[in-house]
Amino acid sequence: MVPVIVLVILLRISDTFQTTEFCKNVVTACLLKPGESFTWCYEDKISTCLQGRFAMPNFIHEQVSTSQQVERNLTQHRVSIPLSALQSSQSEDRAMAGNKTLLVITLLNSTHFRRNVTLKSKMLPRHPESHGNIVGGLVLMVKVGQKAVSNLSQPILLVFKHNHMADNGTCVFWKEVQRGNGHWSREGCYTSVGKDGYLCSCDHLSFFAVLVNPKVSLDGTTKVNLSYISTGGSALSVICSLLSLIIYTCLQNRRPDKSIGVHMQLTGAILCLHLSFLLGCLWAWLEGGGWACKVFGALLHWSLLGTFTWTAIEGFHLYILLVRVFNIYIRKYLLKLSLVGWGVPTVIVVTCGFLDVYGEYTPVITDHDSNTTSKICWIKDMNTDGIPAIYILMLTYMGLVLLFNSAMLALVVVKIWTVRSTSMGFRRGMSSSNNKWKLMDKEKRSRMCKDLATVMGLSCVLGLAWSFSYTTYSSLSAAGLYLFTILNSLQGVFMFLWSLALTCKSRSENHSSAQDASTKKTMETSFNS
């Protein structure tokens, strides 16, 4: 009889070890289940896991008394749990539960909360409060007992210590909307910044973190100013782009030129860009989402890609003119450029349209004390890790265009410098008179000013102002946003100034040609007489 009892006990112990996992293996086990929510899996398994012989860093798994407040410290965190949370976590059968309850406090990697998201949930728009970065990339889990604890009369207090403090840090928790899909929310949590770090007081227990976004988080005044600048600048660009197209059309009719044709295409892309931006903002403000907002978002994306592509074509055309001076005839040159300039954006936008990525978008997040929001019809902020892939591809595409056009601009500067140096050296050898030297110095200063204006004009045509978008990710984010918004909202104005410069140049050339023809006719008349 005794051997049978011992065998039963051994079998039960064996079954317990087979069904119970060690705490250090819970994260890996939950990540290996792609069809199950990571948070649900972790909460279920961490309550019944075995600690093993070796202690885990920043991991507390113990039975605590429900008769007094509990305080625990981790490396960079401090947790204070009130009596109300401990008592509400007790089982209904107090005689069975006794005066003890399970306390679990641990740190998790923030990437785990996105890794098990399904494809369907990735296409859902991200909640507005989910923007930002997790301080330290760590999430603090606090769990008491087996039941969910919420609506506490006394809040739980959490301290997140961090060396690099940011004023706009916000305490958030992971809110599971449906199985495998959730977002960071600040419901029931209040934030204050002290000497020790971020102090979070929340009325429930969950997975907690501090969300900061120093790159785009702005106060209400700055956000309103940027909105006025972008809207006013875009409206002015639309008017100037229309005038530029009229000027280019007149120049093209007077004397057909492939360069003018390329300028017309770029101006058309800029006109579509700013017009679709204004229409998208107006629709989002009046009506909100819907199919029309998706159309305006797709049009804005198409125009933006078209602008990038045509600025790259401007750089390519400049390379053709400067490097391949001779033998530059290309059959159906403008038609081939148009197929690339408009075809590539069309293919990308149609592909994105099938993926349903367009809709209502909030471009800038203000401080949590501000209730003002602005929305446009653009690419929905998809529920993925960090920056959505479509933004990464767009930034990479823009970066390659800017790199290529910067090289073309540098080539122009070197070419101008070489021509000017050769010209000045030739003139120095022709004369040494003081008066002529003064005239040459004056002419040199005038040419330098013209060259500087040419380089600045080419910089605008080649779209180098888009490079200021990368300054918005630095510590000078507000200044970078102002500079980026001003320069890029006035793209149409710059193209209008460039068209005026080409008009003046065309008139000057026509005037010179007329003078040369008159001189030639006078010489022939004198010779014949």
- The answer to whether the pTM exceeds 0.75 is no
**CA-CA-CA-CA torsion sign (476, 479, 482, 484):** negative
* Rounded CA separation 451/114 (Å): 52
Under 8 Å between Cβ of 136 and 76 = yes
Q: Which of the pair, 117 or 101, is modelled with greater confidence?
A: 101
* CA distance linking residue 382 with residue 364, whole number of Å: 15
What single DSSP character describes residue 187?
T
Q: Which amino acid is at 284?
A: A
Would you say how long the chain is, in residues?
A: 529
CA distances, 455 to each of 269, 409, 495 (Å): 22, 7, 14
Q: How far is CA 159 from the centre of its chain?
A: 30
pLDDT the model gives residue 444: 61
**pLDDT category, 348, cuts 50, 70, 90?**
very high
Q: Which of 47, 76, 208 is nearest to 140 (CA)?
A: 208
* CA distance readout (Å), 493 to 236, 241, 337, 350, 369: 7, 7, 24, 30, 37
**CA triple 510-338-412, angle to 5 deg:** 55
Say which CATH topology domain 20-212 has. Chondroitinase Ac; Chain A, domain 3 (2.60.220)
451-472: pLDDT as tens digits: 566 667 677 777 777 877 665 5
**220-421+439-505: which CATH topology?**
Rhopdopsin 7-helix transmembrane proteins (1.20.1070)
For residue 95, how many C-alpha atoms fall within 13 Å in the half-sphere facing its CB? 0
> Which tens digits make up the pLDDT trace of 268-282?
999 999 999 999 888
CA distances for 207 relative to 69, 115, 186, 258, 423, angstroms = 20, 16, 12, 61, 72
The per-residue pLDDT for 447 is 62
Give pLDDT tens digits for 50-97.
Answer: 877 667 788 888 888 888 888 998 888 899 998 888 887 665 444 445
Residue with tokens 């490079």: 467
Q: Whole-angstrom distance between the N-terminal and C-terminal Cα of the chain?
A: 145
Instruction: Domain ranges for the chain, please list them.
Output: 20-212, 220-421+439-505
Residue 360, both tokens: 């209502």
CB 295 within 8 A of CB 322: no
